[in-house]
Amino acid sequence: MAGTTKTKPFFTRRRIVLFSVLLALIVLAVAMIATRPSQDALVGCISEELRESAGAKYSETYLNFGILNVARGRDIRSGSPETYLGAFGQIFDANDGAASAVANISLWMPSLIKGTGITISLTVVSVLVGVVLALFLALGKMSKILPIKWFCSGYIFFFRGTPLLMQLYFVYYGLPLISSALAINNRFMAAFIAFALNSGAYVAELIRAALQSIDKGQYEAAKSLGLSYAQTMGLVIVPQSIRRLIPPVANEFIMVIKDASLVSLIALTDLSRATQTIMNNTFSVLVYVPAIVLYLVITAVFTKIFNKLEQRYSVYQ
Amino acid sequence: MSLIRTESVYKSFGELEVLRGITTTVEQGEVVCIIGPSGAGKSTFLRSLNQLEEITSGKIFIDEQLFLHKENGVLVERISASEHKRLLLEMGMVFQSFNLFPHMTVMDNVITAPTRVKKVPRDEAVADAIEILRQVGLEDKHDAYPSKLSGGQMQRVAIARSLAMHPKIMLFDEPTSALDPELVGEVLSVMKKLAESGMTMLVVTHEMGFAREAADRVLFMCDGIIAEESEPNELFSNPKNPRTRQFLNSVL
Ligand SMILES: Nc1ncnc2c1ncn2[C@@H]1O[C@H](COP(=O)(O)OP(=O)(O)O)[C@@H](O)[C@H]1O
Ligand SMILES: [Mg+2]
């Protein structure tokens, strides 16, 4: 982008607000960490009775997240904490409504965050690789060379016409049956391959629509100036298509974030499966609250990123 | 020396025969205007010359070399691929709808083809572009995107973009038809200056004033043939063909 951008003052009002919030959070975090109770205090929090029944294992029975500390008796029968410490060392009873919810959620957070990581990384790598694959598929489907055109059309037809779930099963369970050399033992790898192949087909149709929406006059002008086909696509057509592609690709992205829950069927733990596992173990519907919030946060962050991208590519409008 | 010569050029779109035997010549330094009713095949003829359309039959000579010869849709002879490319570059084309590259600045619009096709070093291309943009009166718009320009300015950028390839002949397909009336003049005056500088030009236009003033020769096209052809004064004041007379009465 060769446009001249006006230099804005660094301290805009939005940035001042943002910095203040950030500063307040840092101060709070420092205060929490500074007043953090010691390990002994945490252990002391657990009732005598439980400490004895848990025996030597009690050292595993507390969790310390730095900011929020939870002492949890390893009562296998209920699975829930009986006492815990608040952020500033306060001691709460496990039956305290809201506070206990916070403690429970903080207990679940690590596995939810891990699941979120899987969901995000699977989505990002699959869609990114899918977009590259899709560019070739789209150009191939528009190609005048018939075998290429047929292959790309067939590919797109196949992957759009069959359920992603079956494609995933096929990659993970089916391929090893054909030949053991094709076995993909890493679940994430298998999910990535299935998702990228599938995304490629969907995005190819988006790219084709975007390329075909470019005015015919652009091809003619490029041709009359002597640009080759590759130069015409690379310098004229594709750059103009990118902006038109951003909203539908953002949409595909958000679909894949949710489709990622299918990976639980090959026992890969994404955010959905992490949530379900906690739900099965604790019978607490409360776990849906952080899970939903996490999903919404991911979607919001990516929507924001795509909006920014769209703005960047709109400078010439 | 003729830059363009055609012999019995025919072109059909399926059943529809749009060009029905066009034989004409454009000499070096000549300005030829093509007038005629809409649907006469004027654009198709221009586009056939630089291969945006593939003719059905006939011969096209560029720069005295047989560029393309087809008979009834069958290729008889085509110049070698490298010569083909070189001769195509001798023709610049200006479209009715400008067809500027909207995602590039004015400068990038002008230098893209020289740097990418002719491999001119960027700084030379820029220096050349500055001079050409000055000629079309856009020296202060280098960094503007086309969307920020008026129609007249856009068409002048399109002319500059073609000129940057230093073609021997410029083809114009109704360059002012998409413009608001008050913007037509600035484009026509750039074209007149270009004509005066000795550029060979083949111009499809509805601007009879321009044809009368700038053209060395005017072709009247109608139903896929050149129905009449002569010097502008002769053609405008003393048309021989009744179709020409009828057309001129309707536009003048
Ligand atoms: N790509 C095309 N396919 C089919 N018919 C076309 C095409 N381009 C032009 N024509 C037809 O050819 C005839 C001549 O068109 P054109 O050369 O654009 O005329 P002019 O420029 O003189 O108005 C018109 O009837 C038009 O509909
Ligand atoms: Mg026309």
Q: Provide the residue ranges of all domains of chain A, joining segments of one domain with +.
A: 16-95, 111-316
Instruction: Tell me what the mean pLDDT of segment B149-155 comes to.
Output: 96
pTM of the model: 0.78
Mean pLDDT lowest for which of A92-96, A166-170, B230-234?
Answer: A92-96
- Rounded to the nearest angstrom, the distance between the alpha carbon of A214 and the centre of ligand 1 is 21
Using an 8 Å CB-CB cutoff, list chain B residues near A240. 101-103
The pLDDT score that the predictor gives to residue A282 is 74
Q: How confident is the model at residue A15 (pLDDT cuts 50, 70, 90)?
A: confident
CATH class of this structure's domain A111-316:
mainly alpha
Assess whether pLDDT exceeds 80 at residue A81: no
Instruction: Tell me what the mean pLDDT of segment A10-18 comes to.
Output: 85
- Rounded to the nearest angstrom, the distance between the alpha carbon of B89 and the centre of ligand 2 is 22
CA distances from A21 to A16, B170, B209 (A): 9, 63, 69
Nearest chain B Cα to A312, which residue? B103
Mean pLDDT lowest for which of A48-52, A227-231, B178-182?
Answer: A48-52
Query: Which atom of ligand 1 approaches the CA of B221 most closely?
Result: 22
Residues of B at the A interface, defined by Cβ within 8 angstroms: 50-52, 85, 88-89, 91-93, 95, 97-105, 107-108, 112-113, 116-118, 143, 145-147, 158, 161-162, 165
Assess whether pLDDT exceeds 80 at residue B45: yes
Q: Round the average pLDDT of chain B to a whole number and report it.
A: 95
Q: How confident is the model at residue B167 (pLDDT cuts 50, 70, 90)?
A: very high
The pLDDT score that the predictor gives to residue A315 is 76
The pLDDT score that the predictor gives to residue A50 is 55
Instruction: Tell me what the mean pLDDT of segment A266-284 comes to.
Output: 87
Assess whether pLDDT exceeds 80 at residue A275: yes
Which residues have any ligand 1 atom within 6 Å of their CB? Answer: B 13, 16, 18, 36, 38-44
Q: Does the beta-carbon distance from B146 to A217 stay under 8 Å?
A: no
Q: How confident is the model at residue B150 (pLDDT cuts 50, 70, 90)?
A: very high
Best of B19, B43, B221 to mutate for ligand 1, by most ligand atoms within 8 A of CB?
B43
C-alpha Rg value of chain B to the nearest Å = 18
Nearest chain A Cα to B147, which residue? A317
- Rounded to the nearest angstrom, the distance between the alpha carbon of B249 and the centre of ligand 1 is 23
Q: Does the beta-carbon distance from B101 to A225 stay under 8 Å?
A: no
Instruction: Tell me what the mean pLDDT of segment A17-27 comes to.
Output: 89
Q: How confident is the model at residue B92 (pLDDT cuts 50, 70, 90)?
A: very high
Ligand 1 atom 4, closest CA: B13
The pLDDT score that the predictor gives to residue A13 is 85
Q: In this predicted complex, what is the ipTM?
A: 0.95
The pLDDT score that the predictor gives to residue A100 is 64
Instruction: Tell me what the mean pLDDT of segment B215-227 comes to.
Output: 96
Using an 8 Å CB-CB cutoff, list chain B residues near A235. 101, 112, 116
Nearest chain A Cα to B89, which residue? A226
The pLDDT score that the predictor gives to residue A65 is 45
Assess whether pLDDT exceeds 60 at residue B251: yes
The number of the ligand nearest the C-alpha atom of B247 reads 1
Assess whether pLDDT exceeds 60 at residue A230: yes
Assess whether pLDDT exceeds 70 at residue A93: no
Mean pLDDT lowest for which of A242-251, B45-54, B104-113, B205-214?
Answer: A242-251
Assess whether pLDDT exceeds 50 at residue B71: yes
Using an 8 Å CB-CB cutoff, list chain A residues near B50. 224
Q: How confident is the model at residue A195 (pLDDT cuts 50, 70, 90)?
A: very high
Residues 6+ apart with CB under 8 A from A144: none
Assess whether pLDDT exceeds 90 at residue A299: yes
Instruction: Tell me what the mean pLDDT of segment B140-151 comes to.
Output: 95
Assess whether pLDDT exceeds 60 at residue A57: no
Q: Does the beta-carbon distance from B85 to A226 stay under 8 Å?
A: yes
Q: Round the average pLDDT of chain A to a whole number and report it.
A: 81
Nearest CA of chain B to the CA of A5: how many Å? 11
Nearest CA of chain B to the CA of A239: how many Å? 7
Instruction: Tell me what the mean pLDDT of segment B167-175 comes to.
Output: 97
- Rounded to the nearest angstrom, the distance between the alpha carbon of B178 and the centre of ligand 2 is 11
Nearest chain B Cα to A216, which residue? B99
Q: Percent of chain A having pLDDT more than 90?
A: 49
Assess whether pLDDT exceeds 80 at residue A276: yes
Structure tokens at B247: 């057309």
Assess whether pLDDT exceeds 80 at residue A79: no
Mean pLDDT lowest for which of A37-46, B35-44, B156-165?
Answer: A37-46
Assess whether pLDDT exceeds 60 at residue A67: no
Nearest chain A Cα to B103, which residue? A316
The shortest CB-CB distance from B116 to any of A2, A223, A235 is to: A235
**What residue type is assigned to position B155 of the chain?**
Q
Assess whether pLDDT exceeds 70 at residue A246: yes
Assess whether pLDDT exceeds 50 at residue A182: yes
Residue B110 and residue B159 in contact, taking contact as beta carbons nearer than 8 Å:
no
Q: Which of B53, B103, B140 to mutate to test the interface with A (most CBs of A within 10 A)?
A: B103
Q: Which residue has the higher pLDDT, B195 or A2?
A: B195
Using an 8 Å CB-CB cutoff, list chain A residues near B161. 221, 225
Structure tokens at A126: 């699959």
Using an 8 Å CB-CB cutoff, list chain A residues near B165. 225-226
Using an 8 Å CB-CB cutoff, list chain B residues near A231. 116-117
Q: What share of chain A is helix, strand, coil (3-state, %, to 5)?
A: 75, 5, 20
Residues 6+ apart with CB under 8 A from A21: none
Mean pLDDT lowest for which of A86-90, A220-224, B120-124, B201-205?
Answer: A86-90
- Rounded to the nearest angstrom, the distance between the alpha carbon of B196 and the centre of ligand 1 is 31
Q: Does the beta-carbon distance from B105 to A3 stay under 8 Å?
A: yes
The pLDDT score that the predictor gives to residue A66 is 42
Q: How confident is the model at residue A40 (pLDDT cuts 50, 70, 90)?
A: low
CB-side neighbour CA atoms (13 Å) of B213: 12
Assess whether pLDDT exceeds 70 at residue B136: yes
Q: pLDDT tens digits for A102-153?
A: 667 777 888 899 999 999 999 999 999 999 999 999 999 998 899 999 999 9
Assess whether pLDDT exceeds 60 at residue B184: yes
Residues of A at the B interface, defined by Cβ within 8 angstroms: 2-4, 215, 217-218, 220-221, 223-227, 231, 235-236, 239-240, 315-317
C-alpha Rg value of chain A to the nearest Å = 26
Mean pLDDT lowest for which of A79-83, B15-19, B174-178?
Answer: A79-83
Using an 8 Å CB-CB cutoff, list chain B residues near A3. 105, 143, 145
Assess whether pLDDT exceeds 60 at residue A18: yes
